[in-house]
Structures are given as C-alpha cells and as structure tokens.
Amino acid sequence: MKAVKKKRLTPLGRILLGLVVVIILAGGIGSYILLSNHVEEVQEIIPAETDDPKQEMTANLIMVGDALIHSAIYQDAKQADGSYDFKPMLEYIKPIMQEYDLKYYNQETILGGSELGLSNYPRFNSPYEVGDAFVDAGFNLVSLATNHTMDKGEQGVLNSLDYWSKHSNVYTAGSYRSFEDRDKKVIQEVNGIRYAFFSYTTWTNGLNTPSGKEYLNNVYSEELARADIERVRDEVDIVIVAMHWGTEYSTGISPAQEQIANYLASLGVDIIIGSHPHVVEPIDFIGKTMVIYSLGNFISDQEGIERLTGLMVNVTIHKTIDDGVTTIALENPEAQLIYTHSVYGRKRNFKVYPYTSLNEVLLPNYHTYYEKYRQIVCSRSDKITMPDLGG
C-alpha cells in the first residue's frame, strides 16, 4: 500500500480555500433562496385552487308501496301470547334496506293499535307491530295520507301519530296533530343533502276529516302543496312528495295523475312517489322530476298476481358544489319487482320476495309476469333499468 503524503497549505492557500468555502456556501444559500421562492410561487397557485374545492355528496333512496294489512296478514302474524310479529314477512327485504340511506314505504292502513279493535276492509285498523317490523327493517320515510287514514276516526290517527312519535329516526308526512304541526318547516339532512318530504291523498273513501281538523289527513290541493313546497324549496336540495292517487287496479296513468305530476314538477319537486292503484304503473321523468306513478302493493292479501306484485325503486341523489354552485342529479334509477307470497289459500306464511329470489315453486311462470310488468314500468322512459332475472 502506498503512503499518501499530506500536503500542507501555505497561508495564502488557506485564505484562497476560505474564499472558495464562502463562495460555495453563498451559492448554496442563494440557490436555496431561489428554490424557496419557486416553491412559494407554486404554493401561491395551489391555495387558489383548493380554496373552494369541488364537493361531492351522495345519498341513496329506496321506495316500496302500500302496506295493506288485511285480516289474513295480522292473523298470520299473531303469536301464542296474543302479540303480533310481522318481522318474518320482511325477512328478504330487510337485508336489501341496509344498503340505503333513505327507505320509504306507504302505510296504507292506519296503525290505530289493537286497543281500537283490529279490522279488515273496508275500514281497516292495524296493530302497531306492523310499524315495528318496518322500523326493524330500516324504513325511515313513511307516508300517512291515504284513503284509509280516517278509517278509525280521529282516535285512530292520534294513536298512529303517538306510535310514530316514539320513533325519532323515522320521518312521517301527511297526517298531523294540528295545523301548526302540518305547516311547520321541517328540513332533514342525510350525508350533507338537505331534503323535505310531503304526503297527500286525492282519495278519502268519503271519510272526510272533521271540519276544522283537516290536518289529520292531508287531502291534496294545489294550494296546500304549493304552500308546503314553497316554504322549503329554496332551502333544500331535494323535495320528495308521496302522492296517493290514480285509479285502483289500472296499470295506466290517469289524466288527473298526469296533471298533478306536471303541477308538482313545475313547483320544483324532485321525486314523486305514487301509490294507491295496488298495481304497478310506469316510471317517467318530467324534465328533471322523477315520477313513479304507482309502486303497487308492498304487502297485501289481495287476489291475483298483478296485485301481489309491486315495485321496489332506488335512485342515487348526487349533490355537487363547484365554485359555489350546487347541482343535484338523480342517478342510476333502478326498479325491481317484489311479490307477496303466502300458502294455504292466502292464509299463512306471508312473505315479500324480490322477483330475483323467486322460483317456479313459489310462483310458476314468474319470468313471464316479470317481463309483463317490466314492460309496463319501462313504457314511458328508457332511463329506468331493471335487472334480468337469470335462472
């Protein structure tokens, strides 16, 4: 190994070396300052972009139709101890609900409770346990204005409202304790999306609310709907209106339905959820307003496949705030069919099935029915998708 001889610096050499070191350091600092300035320039641009970032929010909504609780259904739900359990009837629906934020159904028959005496058509009265099953399945939007709301008079309505008031996570509309309650501005929020929900009926079966107590059941009028909607329209992203309307057992849209749908669309309603015909009707769009003319029955003991078949419709509400401007879009509207199955001549084991879970034993020729009702549902708009049954 060759020894390296150390070379000693002269005093001048030391000074020169010192200068070189100073120059290098100065250059380094200068470069750092330049670089810092450059970074600062870049950072000045970023805040300008992130100051008001684009915000995206979504909530998904699923809707089913009429809970029409005939005597065979509550007799089937009756337990040995005299209580009622409707939860098994929703066994195949509950798992589907867990995927949604807003879950709507129409409580067609009044939940007046067993204390008023349960009853069948034409003046229904249903036990509170019906509500328990829907709450258990996750439903949180319930329309209460129907042609059966007054079936048990004012007491039936008050019992129903007492029942629902115990479920603070459930938002009901269409039936109230006072004009003050009815006219109160109620705005709900889900995932940053603000919404309002109203419910009206065009039919009362001649059972009118007592004079001066019209708040018990919201009978539709343009004046009432307009006042309700204008009260909230500028403060919410979405207005949802449940309409109890149309012609019973008709899969066609009546002129009255069409007129009301156009009027509500003109007021800026986003989603109109129709019920009462007990069979499915088309889904359409009037401009941006989604109109489900009839969801049909969710559960009933009515006769015939047409009345045992209903719709389950879902849609994603997409809110975007960009540069201070909010836009709302209804995306991916989808529809599925459901079927109320029971055994022993429509007496026992009532259960609601998605058509996708049916088989030839539960409903022979179910593919044929599916195609028949799919054609009706999709006859007005090509924006609706319905799954293929497969199998």
Closest to Zn ion by CB, 60 vs 107, is 107
Residue 305 tokens read as 């496949």
Q: For the purposes of burial, counting CB atoms within 10 Å of the CB of 185, is it exposed (0-12), middle (13-18) or buried (19 or more)? A: exposed
- Check: CB of residue 355 under 8 Å from CB of residue 368: no
> Which residue in the set 60, 147, 217, 342 belongs to the binding site for Zn ion (CB under 5 A)?
147
| CB 232, min distance to Zn ion, A | 26
Residue 260 tokens read as 């009301």
Residue 295 tokens read as 């969801």
175 closest CA partner among 275, 106, 272, 259 = 106
**Cα end-to-end span (Å), the chain:** 85
Closest to Zn ion by CB, 182 vs 278, is 278
Integer Cα distance of 225 and 242 in angstroms: 11
Return the amino acid letter for 287. G
Integer Cα distance of 146 and 132 in angstroms: 20
40 sits in which H/E element: helix 11-50
| CB 194, min distance to Zn ion, A | 30
Cβ contacts of residue 304 below 8 Å, gap of 6+? none
Strand partners, 285: 290
In the region spanning residues 27 to 56, those forming contacts with Zn ion, defined by CB under 5 A, are none
Residue nearest Zn ion by beta-carbon distance? 276
Segment contacting Zn ion (CB under 5 A): 8-16, 38-46, 89-97, 147-155?
A: 147-155
> Which residue in the set 276, 319, 346, 374 belongs to the binding site for Zn ion (CB under 5 A)?
276
Closest to Zn ion by CB, 70 vs 276, is 276
Segment contacting Zn ion (CB under 5 A): 71-79, 142-150, 325-333, 340-348?
A: 142-150
Closest to Zn ion by CB, 65 vs 138, is 65
Segment contacting Zn ion (CB under 5 A): 95-103, 121-129, 145-153, 353-361?
A: 145-153
Closest to Zn ion by CB, 147 vs 314, is 147
| CB 295, min distance to Zn ion, A | 12
Segment contacting Zn ion (CB under 5 A): 10-18, 209-217, 268-276, 302-310?
A: 268-276
Closest to Zn ion by CB, 109 vs 140, is 109
Closest to Zn ion by CB, 65 vs 113, is 65
106 is a site residue for Zn ion (CB under 5 A): no
Total interface residues for Zn ion by CB under 5 A: 3
- Check: CB of residue 86 under 8 Å from CB of residue 105: no
Q: For the purposes of burial, counting CB atoms within 10 Å of the CB of 301, is it exposed (0-12), middle (13-18) or buried (19 or more)? A: buried
Cα distances from 215 to residues 128, 201, 208, 235, 304, in angstroms, run 21, 12, 11, 24, 35
Closest to Zn ion by CB, 304 vs 364, is 304
Closest to Zn ion by CB, 310 vs 333, is 310
The b-or-e profile of 162-175 (16+ CB within 10 A means b, else e) is ebbeebeebbbbbb
Closest to Zn ion by CB, 280 vs 386, is 280
Integer Cα distance of 322 and 249 in angstroms: 46
Q: For the purposes of burial, counting CB atoms within 10 Å of the CB of 283, is it exposed (0-12), middle (13-18) or buried (19 or more)? A: buried
Question: In a 3-state reduction of DSSP, which class is residue 5?
Answer: coil
In the region spanning residues 211 to 230, those forming contacts with Zn ion, defined by CB under 5 A, are none
Segment contacting Zn ion (CB under 5 A): 38-46, 112-120, 273-281, 312-320?
A: 273-281
Segment contacting Zn ion (CB under 5 A): 123-131, 140-148, 329-337, 348-356?
A: 140-148
- Check: CB of residue 274 under 8 Å from CB of residue 295: yes
| CB 250, min distance to Zn ion, A | 13
- Check: CB of residue 390 under 8 Å from CB of residue 336: no
Segment contacting Zn ion (CB under 5 A): 21-29, 138-146, 342-350, 356-364?
A: 138-146
| Residues in contact with Zn ion by the rule CB under 5 A | 146-147, 276
